[in-house]
Each structure stands twice: as structure tokens, then as C-alpha cells.
Chain A
Amino acid sequence: MSAAGSLVDAVRSAVGEGSVSVVPGFGPVSVEVPAASWTTALQAARDAGATYADFLTAWDELEAGLVVVAHISTPDAADHVLLRTRVPSDDPVLATSIGIYRGLAWHERETHDLFGVRFSGHEPLEPLLVAPSLGLHPLRKDVVLASRAARPWPGEKEPGAESAPARRGGRRRTAPLGVPDGWVQEDA
């Protein structure tokens, strides 16, 4: 932890004390910065010696938007920090980091595929993992895993039953998690 303060302090003084929130965790410290200060924070970390960008990804917090996170480290891994920012889910645009860390280009393409975050200044964001014809970003929480409704669920059987329960009348079928009501077809 001794050195961890230096990257955090560099980001804090570059972005401004009031708009940075530091989140302690079990691993490296997370520093949340406003989306407008994203590249400022990355540049400050790089200038403070963290020249290695380990990864960049995101996660979906539903109404609270999408959180984009980057793990930035010194080359000897003596000091590292998780920088994160928040973009709205309906229009997730963030300035690209590839001018600062060229190696994050792959990660930005992946994050665009999986979460739909657009990185301005990084065009075109070539599809990497997801065919654009799919028309959705699979790691968004509002995406229904359609195969879960189509495939038989191993947990559907009742204890001791040799096969899935008959679907006429009686109890409602147990449905797998993540499948909305009405997606699993009830037999007549």
C-alpha cells in the first residue's frame, strides 16, 4: 500500500479533489472519476509511472449506468490502481484511451461488443467477439439469454422424479433464473 498512494494522489490532483471518490477494496484501490475527466485521470496515472495498462472492461449497474474500469500498473507491478467512471446506459460514450495506452484498443473493441460503450476517437470500433448482426450487447443485464428458454434446464426435475414434471395443471413449472415469465412455453 505504501506506493499505492502515489498513483491515487496523482489522479486526485489532476482531476480535482472534489470530483474523485476513492473506493477501498480487497485488491488495489478503485478511483472513480467523472466521465469527462477519464483521459485526464489516465494521463495522470501514466505520467506518475503507471505505464502498463493491464485491462479495460465494464459492468452494468442498470439504472446507475455502465461502469467502465481500467487496471493501470507500473511495469514492475509495485503500484497499481483501478480507475473507473460511469456512463449512462442509454447513450454510453466515453473518450478513448488509446492515445494514452495503445494496448487498450483491443479492450475497447471488446467492451464495445459486450456492453455497447462507444469510445469517441477510436473509430471504427471493429467488432471483435460479437457479430454486429446479433444486434445486442450480451453482457448488458437486460439481455435475455434466449438459449436458456430453449434448452432443457437440468434443475427442472423435481427431487426423485425421473423426468421433468408433466406440465398440465397442478404446480407451476420451476423456471430457470434469468428467463422472463412467458418465455418458457407451457404445453397445452
Chain B
Amino acid sequence: MSTSDGVPVRSRGVISLVEKNCTVCMLCARECPDWCIHIEGHTVTHPADEVHRRPRTENVLDRFAIDFSLCLYCGICIEVCPFDALHWSPEHSYAGAAIGELTQERDRLAGWEATAPAPADRDA
């Protein structure tokens, strides 16, 4: 299987992000061998209510960026993510004219999620 421009769908083209799966746990940023993942977040506290008897805290993602000028496409971040927030996408046309343009922010990373192929059938 390949994309419309002839690239195999399981190519390591770019890393896409499912924003709602990210818990800002920092595991990917810590495991990244060349420090190309930048995450910022903050914690919000939800007060107790009738359903939740105790106050709850939740991490909210403010920034998720991957610097593809440093990324070596090893996929360790995808492997370590406990919540499958990161996936390989075969999308590859994101070159830039300056090195700073290779840092892709969360909106673009999230946009590529639609091009990430579904996982292979493990029973096949």
C-alpha cells in the first residue's frame, strides 16, 4: 500500500500527534536521544462535586513541538508513549527554507494524524 504520491504508507515520514491522548507525562521528551521534543503544560484542579468526591488535578498540554532538524526518526517517542498519542505518518513534504521552520508545532503535528495508517492486524 502506498500513498497517492507513491510512498509506502508505513514510511517514517513524520511523527503525528493525537492531542487528546497526551497527558504531558514527559516520557517522550525524556527518552528522545537528541532532545528534539519540546513540551509545555500546566495543571488544572477540578473541585470536588457530586460525582467526584475529591478534587482532581489534570495536566493540560500547552505546547508540543518536534524539531525535525534534530529528529533522527528513531521512533523511540512513539514506542514509549503510554497512551498512543504519537504515530508514524508517511507525510513528508514539510521542508523549510530556514532551520527554524523545521520545528513543527502541535497544530501541524495533529493535522498529520489523519494520514497515519491504522495499526497492522496482530492476528493476521
Closest B residue to A153 by beta carbon equals B35
Does B41 sit at the interface, judged by CB under 8 A?
A: yes
Residue A159 at the chain B interface, CB threshold 8 Å: yes
With A154-B29, A174-B30 already in contact, the answer to whether A160 and B41 are too (CB < 8 A) is yes
Q: Is the interface of A mostly helix, strand, loop or mixed?
A: loop
Report A-chain residues with C-beta under 8 Å of the C-beta of B60: 160
- The size class of the interface chain B forms with chain A is 20 to 34
**A176 and B30 alpha carbons, distance in the complex (Å):** 7
B57 touches A155 (CB 8 A): no
Give chain A's interface residues, CB within 8 Å of chain B.
151, 153-155, 157-162, 174, 176
User: What are 27 A-B residue pairs whose CB atoms fall within 8 Å in the complex?
Assistant: A151-B35, A154-B29, A154-B35, A154-B37, A154-B38, A155-B26, A155-B30, A155-B35, A157-B26, A157-B29, A159-B24, A159-B25, A159-B26, A159-B41, A159-B59, A160-B24, A160-B41, A160-B42, A160-B43, A160-B57, A161-B41, A161-B42, A162-B40, A162-B41, A162-B62, A176-B30, A176-B35
Q: Which 9 A-B pairs rank lowest in CB-CB distance, beginning with the nearest?
A: A155-B30, A160-B43, A160-B59, A155-B29, A154-B29, A159-B25, A154-B38, A162-B42, A159-B24
